[in-house]
Chains A and B, each alone.
Chain A
Amino acid sequence: DSGVTQTPKHLITATGQRVTLRCSPRSGDLSVYWYQQSLDQGLQFLIQYYNGEERAKGNILERFSAQQFPDLHSELNLSSLELGDSALYFCASSPWTGEAANEKLFFGSGTQLSVL
């Protein structure tokens, strides 16, 4: 058990809808990352937050947004959903070590999103 909690585990919705994925990082970790895993694109970095502020951005669509709250949990909001958004969405957290690239990421179990 990594200590990172993601809810829900599975989500089935329809095209055009909006969903929110939730992530609770490991106790004490200030950084939260979101990744998308799809069959065609593999594992892709979406966005990172550190202590409530956006720190790095990857291949995140404009229809997607995220935030990190004062209690450090994070939410990933996906709107105007399309069939191609079906994927496994991972949240990861890490402690701050002072060397960003050296950070070891602890991943949650993921949220499997199915857009029908």
Chain B
Amino acid sequence: AQKVTQAQTEISVVEKEDVTLDCVYETRDTTYYLFWYKQPPSGELVFLIRRNSFDEQNEISGRYSWNFQKSTSSFNFTITASQVVDSAVYFCALKTDYGGSQGNLIFGKGTKLSVKP
């Protein structure tokens, strides 16, 4: 079965704190892709990052960083020095070609991050 688990339903931090959003995935495929999307209060889904299963290098983009570990099937997302504008729901998602489901992004339930001033 393919599944994405975001165990943290809600996180609240104070501005400038670092925060890590956890994502654990399950798949039997050896080739797969992992994504993070942000959904701000306005409602749209904004793409943040895509990572394929063969590339375990960590990635840093400004205040955002991602840690991909195949050994633990995790793809965690860290925001450094959080800001109020980071307040949003963050979704982790998995995509494979298994069973003809090419279009199927499997989303986790999301983690609602609230950054207070």
Residues on A facing B (Cβ under 8 Å) = 2, 31, 33, 35, 42-45, 47-48, 55-56, 58, 88, 90, 92, 100-110, 112
Mark the stretch among B16-24, B67-75, B80-88, B89-97 that contacts chain A.
Answer: B89-97
Task: Check A45 against B47 for contact (C-beta < 8 Å).
Answer: no
What is the distance, in angstroms, from A67's C-beta to the closest C-beta of chain B?
15
For B47, the closest partner residue in chain A by CB is: A104
A102 and B45 in contact (CB under 8 A), knowing A55-B102, A56-B104? Answer: no
Task: Check B101 against A90 for contact (C-beta < 8 Å).
Answer: no
Q: Looking at the complex, which one of B33, B43, B44, B104 makes contact with A102 (CB distance below 8 Å)?
A: B33
Q: Which residues of A contact B47 (CB under 8 A)?
A: 104-107
Task: Check A101 against B31 for contact (C-beta < 8 Å).
Answer: yes
12 contacts between A and B (CB under 8 A): A2-B46, A33-B105, A35-B105, A42-B107, A43-B107, A55-B102, A88-B43, A101-B96, A102-B52, A104-B47, A104-B50, A105-B105
CA distance A55 to B101 in the complex (A): 9
Task: Check B107 against A31 for contact (C-beta < 8 Å).
Answer: no
What is the distance, in angstroms, from A16's C-beta to the closest C-beta of chain B?
27
